[in-house]
Amino acid sequence: MEAFRRGIDAYNRGDVETVLEVHDPEVEWRPALQVLLGGKATVYRGHEGVREFLRDLDEAFSEGHIAIREIRDLGDRLLAEGRWLLRGKESGAQTEASLSFLMDFESGKVGGDLP
């Protein structure tokens, strides 16, 4: 759970390198955000995929903050729930959405799917 917490803290302060450090180089992210915004489901693979996802967020949102409400240790898996606070880059509109993570861990690094 420590790797997960470090990754969330790093995201909240814009520290991409630390976000990458806590993820296995072969990680796959399957975020639902694009679908919720009317786009297509996308899978981001590996560290370059994580970078691409974060760049995509940066293009659309001027601010983003994740607040985790609960974390459940499921052995080699983790389930976390919280809120994602975002501000649109062009509109300035603020939005808040529920957020869930289900992640697998391999050798102490995130190796499963996000969010």
Digit-coded pLDDT (tens) for 24-77: 998 988 887 777 766 787 889 999 999 999 998 898 899 999 999 999 999 889
What is the spatial distance between Cα 65 and Cα 106, in angstroms, rounded to a whole number? Answer: 26
Domains, the chain? 2-110 (3.10.450.50)
Mean pLDDT for the chain overall: 88
Residue 112's pLDDT is 54
What is the spatial distance between Cα 79 and Cα 2, in angstroms, rounded to a whole number? Answer: 13
13: part of which helix (H) or strand (E)? Answer: helix 2-13
Residue 1's pLDDT is 84
HEC string for 14-52: CCHHHHHHCECCCCEECCCHHHHCCCCCCCEEHHHHHHH
Closest by CA to 4, choosing from 98, 108, 84, 99, is 108
pLDDT at 107 over 80: no
What is the spatial distance between Cα 35 and Cα 47, in angstroms, rounded to a whole number? Answer: 22
* Token duo for residue 109: 């690094």
pLDDT at 12 over 50: yes
